[in-house]
Amino acid sequence: MSSILIIYSSTDGQTLKICQRLQAVIEQQHQVTVVSIDDIAQIDLTRFDKIVIGASIRYGHHSPLIVKFIKNNTPLLDSKPNAFFSVNVVARKPAKNSPETNPYLRKFLKRIAWKPKELEVFAGKIDYPAYKPFDRLVIRLIMWMTGGPTAPDAVVEYTDWNQVASFGDRLGKM
Ligand SMILES: Cc1cc2nc3c(=O)[nH]c(=O)nc-3n(C[C@H](O)[C@H](O)[C@H](O)COP(=O)(O)O)c2cc1C
């Protein structure tokens, strides 16, 4: 049994939901701690055997806190089995739903020195009623341009939970 830390950045809760599903899968064989990037200063990273980071995309970028954390801890991350996953709605498209084809993940990996040993991309969720008016307008416009849902009350979860469970298995074995 090893001890796995999952660090996440989530604005509307979908990345957290994915982390909780990963935790449920991995916990059958390992000890799992899930922590927000906002609380990472309180965590002793050295006591974990493996580190996983998950972050959603907002307006084209992962959270700057995640980028800063990775830049400040690259040697430590490299010293353990590690993984990164991105959550975004572009990944709802089959041509953009893998680590090799998702444009956000490709761009992100070019910006950082860390080379995660495991990578994954999950399609996220559209939840217009939960968004602030400006965000709702902008995301509806982007969806209109890219063939997604535009009804102002649309709530669509694109996340493939079987894919999440498979990734959990991979994390358990890495
Ligand atoms: C304000 C806002 C901006 C977003 N920008 C993007 C984007 O640029 N590209 C994309 O693919 N998805 C974008 N999304 C979709 C999110 O990545 C998706 O909703 C994801 O599930 C959010 O995860 P979270 O709830 O963990 O933050 C955006 C969502 C919101 C609300």
Identify the DSSP state of 73: T
Residue 7 pairs with which residues in a beta bridge? 35, 53
Strand partners, 123: 88
Per-residue pLDDT at 131: 97
Q: What is the DSSP letter of 161?
A: H
- The finding on whether 5 has its CB within 6 A of some atom of ligand 1 is no
Q: What is the pLDDT of residue 136?
A: 97
| Atom in ligand 1 nearest the alpha carbon of residue 56 | 23
Residue to mutate (ligand 1; options 9, 65, 88; most atoms within 8 A of CB):
88
- Whether residue 129 contacts residue 153, with contact meaning beta carbons closer than 8 Å, is answered with yes
pLDDT of residue 138: 96
Q: Which ligand 1 atom sits nearest the alpha carbon of residue 131?
A: 31
One pLDDT digit (tens) per residue for the chain, 174 residues: 899 999 999 999 999 999 999 999 999 999 999 999 999 999 999 999 999 999 999 999 999 999 999 999 999 999 999 999 999 999 999 999 999 999 999 999 999 999 999 999 999 999 999 999 999 999 999 999 999 999 999 999 999 999 999 999 999 999
Strand 125-127 to strand 3-9: parallel, antiparallel, or no bridges (unpaired)? Answer: unpaired
* Of residues 1, 37, 14, 18, the one with CA closest to residue 126: 14
Atom 21 (ligand 1): residue with closest C-alpha? 124
Q: Nearest CA to 31 among 66, 58, 5?
A: 5
Q: Are 65 and 39 in contact (CB under 8 A)?
A: no
**pLDDT tens profile 73-99:** 999 999 999 999 999 999 999 999 999
Ligand 1 mean position to 49 CA, how many Å?
A: 30
Note the pLDDT of residue 81: 98
Please spell the DSSP secondary structure of 86-152, one letter per residue.
EEESGGGSGGG-STTT-HHHHHHHHH-S---SEEEEEE-EEEGGGS-HHHHHHHHHHHHHHT----T
Claim: this prediction has a pTM higher than 0.75: yes
Question: Residue 105 and residue 123: Cα distance in Å, rounded?
Answer: 12
Atom number in ligand 1 closest to CA 13: 25
Q: What is the predicted pLDDT for the residue at 69?
A: 98
Confidence at residue 92, expressed as pLDDT on a 0 to 100 scale: 97
Ligand 1 center–CA 102 separation, angstroms: 14
Tokens of 150: 């535009």
Q: Are 83 and 117 in contact (CB under 8 A)?
A: yes
125 lines ligand 1 (CB under 6 A): yes
